[in-house]
């Protein structure tokens, strides 16, 4: 049962809060504990990451002039809760992803390099995957979640943002990892943890917290770090992160891993006044809400010793069947085309998916049976140059599922608003038949 204490500017202090804070005292200075205690009484923060492939920062800030830019992460912004951006048209058509400002820092420091093959090992619901995908140039990202239900949510977010370089799977790498030995250039490991850094946002995590859970998670984290190490190429990087304040799940897990893996080293990162470093692991970063405007996160970048060679991708597989004429105008040459569950998918480079349940293989081009119909994911991923711009009135009509007059040549065409592709229409004699998915239709 949640037992309330006193209140200061927002959230009440609870017995669980105090138990968690007491568990930190053997490791952190008393001044830091007291500052953290005060921070936990304050309201949570709200932030987003802009889909800068679809809309520029200048245009976005003109639409929402009240936003505050993140101090060091490009395309990241703070907003006030009352702005209700999560219900906005721009959010629903893929303009941005809402996530905790602390969660943005780990993909920023993993810093995808051009042409890399990356794994996000516990990716749902997709915040870190979205940032990694948008940062990654001419590479591919495998985003996995052990829960099939959560992987479906992840796949939906990948589609909403029009991310074309992401493979979504659900599976257990403890079983599948032998097929990925030294396969990835970089790995995001957002490890399961006790969640103490999310108490302000989710009371269920607070009620479920215990020191026993912290210690059990520590053992799981060591296993996952070892697992990730076997799948990483020499010279590659693991970004380890948790949403926990506990030393055992943070410094304790990293130091335990390094003790058993002499082929790895912790990498010093850019410093900032809002970062806290523990003396035992100065390369690690705590984002305490007492210093950093966010809910909290721990992260540490680990490098596998050795020389990193450039990734050599296999040649993309052309589709063995006949591609529909609808696709002839879209740049699919050199892409890896795959038929999966009666649907065609395209990925910039081949990605191994052995031992995992496949949900999405890059961009879904469309269903093939009984006849080919282009998918909204293809429209969202195409970007500018393939679209017919709509004025606001017609864009709202399209998102509501309506038919309307529209100039353009007959056939399937992509329509857009504010430069962002919305989906397909089928033009026939100046009338746009609506192909926006029925489950997404709504009136704004």
Strands (E) in 261-403, as ranges, are 264-266, 276-278, 281-286, 298-304, 336-340, 343-347, 357-361, 363-367, 373-374, 387-389
Percent of the chain's residues with pLDDT above 70: 93
Active-site residue flag, 193:
no
pLDDT value of residue 9: 36
Query: Does residue 313 sit within a domain?
Result: no
Q: What does the pLDDT read at residue 7?
A: 30
Predicted confidence at residue 401, as pLDDT, reads 96
391 and 300, same domain (yes or no) = no
What is the distance between the terminal CA atoms of the chain, rounded to a whole angstrom?
Answer: 40
- pLDDT on residue 314: 85
Gap between the Cα atoms of 387 and 422, Å rounded: 9
Determine contact, residues 241/297, Cβ cutoff 8 Å: yes
The mean of the pLDDT values for the chain is 91
The domain that contains 413 carries what CATH number?
Answer: 2.30.130.60
Indicate whether 248 pLDDT > 80. Answer: yes
Range(s) of the domain holding residue 440? 387-444
pLDDT of 37 strictly over 80? yes
Tens-place pLDDT, residues 294-346: 999 999 999 999 998 888 888 887 776 767 666 766 667 778 999 998 899 99
pLDDT of residue 6: 30
pLDDT number for residue 398 = 96
Question: Which pLDDT score, from 0 to 100, does residue 385 have?
Answer: 65
**pLDDT score of 177 more than 60:** yes
Q: DSSP characters for 376-416?
A: HHHHHHH-TTSEEE--HHHHHHHHTT--EE--S-SEEEEEE
Residue at a domain's end among 304, 335, 361: 304
pLDDT band for position 5 (cuts 50, 70, 90): very low
Lowest mean pLDDT among 29-38, 139-148, 204-213, 322-331: 322-331
Q: What is the pLDDT of residue 153?
A: 97
**Active-site entry in 193, 243, 274, 300:** 243
134 and 275 co-located in one domain: yes
Chosen domain end from 286, 304, 322 = 304
Reported pTM: 0.93
Asked whether residue 283 falls in the same domain as residue 397, the answer is: no
Per-residue pLDDT of 66-114, as tens digits, reads 999 999 999 999 999 767 898 899 999 999 999 999 999 999 999 999 9
Read off the pLDDT band of 2 (50, 70, 90).
very low
Task: List Cα–Cα distances, 28 to 70, 156, 217, 280, 390, in angstroms.
Answer: 27, 40, 20, 11, 56
Q: Which residue has the higher pLDDT, 408 or 113?
A: 113
Token pair listed for 109: 């420091």
From 281, 304, 327, the end of a domain falls on 304
C-alpha distances in Å from residue 193, one per residue of 121, 123, 145, 327, 369: 14, 14, 15, 45, 43
In a domain, 194, yes or no: yes
Mean pLDDT, range 285-301, rounded to an integer: 97
pLDDT at 420 over 80: yes
- Judged against a pLDDT cut of 60, whether residue 176 lies above it is answered with yes
The answer to whether residues 287 and 274 touch, using CB atoms and an 8 Å cutoff, is yes
Give whole-number Cα distances, 38 to 13, 27, 29, 62, 366, in Å.
9, 18, 15, 35, 52
**Is 6 among the domain residues?**
no
212: domain CATH number is 3.40.50.150
Is the separation of the CB atoms in 13 and 21 below 8 Å?
no
For 350-389, the pLDDT digits (tens) are 999 999 999 999 999 998 888 888 899 999 887 666 789 9
Per-residue confidence (pLDDT) for residue 226, from 0 to 100 = 98
């Amino acid at each position: 049962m949640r037992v309330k204490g006193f209140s200061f500017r927002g959230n009440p202090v609870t017995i669980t809060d105090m138990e968690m804070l007491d568990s930190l005292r053997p490791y952190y200075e008393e001044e830091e504990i007291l500052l953290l205690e005060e921070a936990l009484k304050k309201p949570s923060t709200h932030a987003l990451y802009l889909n800068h492939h679809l809309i520029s920062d200048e245009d976005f800030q003109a639409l929402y002039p009240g936003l505050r830019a993140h101090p060091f992460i490009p395309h990241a912004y703070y907003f006030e809760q009352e702005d209700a951006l999560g219900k906005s048209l721009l959010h629903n058509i893929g303009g941005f992803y809402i996530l905790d400002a602390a969660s943005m820092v780990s993909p920023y420091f993993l810093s995808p390099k051009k042409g890399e093959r990356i794994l996000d090992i516990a990716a749902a619901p997709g915040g870190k995957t979205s940032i990694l995908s948008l940062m990654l140039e001419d590479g591919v990202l495998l985003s996995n979640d052990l829960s099939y239900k959560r992987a479906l949510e992840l796949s939906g977010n990948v589609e909403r943002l029009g991310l074309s370089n992401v493979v979504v799977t659900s599976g257990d790498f403890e079983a599948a990892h032998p097929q990925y030995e030294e396969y990835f250039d970089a790995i995001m490991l957002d490890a399961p943890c006790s969640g103490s850094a999310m108490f302000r946002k989710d009371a269920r995590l607070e009620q479920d917290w215990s020191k026993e859970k912290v210690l059990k998670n520590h053992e799981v984290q060591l296993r996952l770090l070892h697992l990730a190490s076997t799948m990483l190429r020499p010279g590659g990087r693991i970004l380890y992160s948790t949403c926990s304040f506990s030393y055992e799940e943070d410094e304790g897990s990293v130091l335990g891993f390094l003790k058993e893996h002499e082929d790895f080293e912790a990498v010093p990162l850019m410093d900032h006044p809002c970062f806290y470093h523990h003396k035992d692991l100065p390369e690690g970063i705590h984002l305490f809400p007492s210093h950093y405007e966010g809910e909290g996160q721990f992260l540490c970048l680990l490098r596998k010793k050795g020389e990193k060679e450039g990734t050599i991708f296999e040649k993309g597989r052309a589709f063995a069947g006949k591609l529909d004429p609808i696709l002839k105008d879209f740049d699919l040459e050199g892409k890896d085309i795959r038929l999966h569950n009666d649907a065609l998918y395209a990925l910039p480079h081949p990605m191994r998916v052995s031992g995992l349940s496949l949900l999405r293989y890059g961009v879904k081009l469309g269903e093939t049976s009984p006849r080919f119909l282009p998918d909204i994911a293809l429209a969202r991923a195409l970007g500018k140059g393939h679209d017919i711009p709509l004025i606001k009135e017609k864009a709202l009509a399209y998102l509501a599922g309506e038919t309307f007059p529209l100039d353009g040549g007959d056939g399937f065409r992509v329509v857009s608003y504010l430069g962002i592709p919305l989906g397909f229409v089928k033009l026939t004699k100046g009338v746009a038949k609506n192909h926006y998915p029925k489950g997404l239709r709504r009136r704004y």
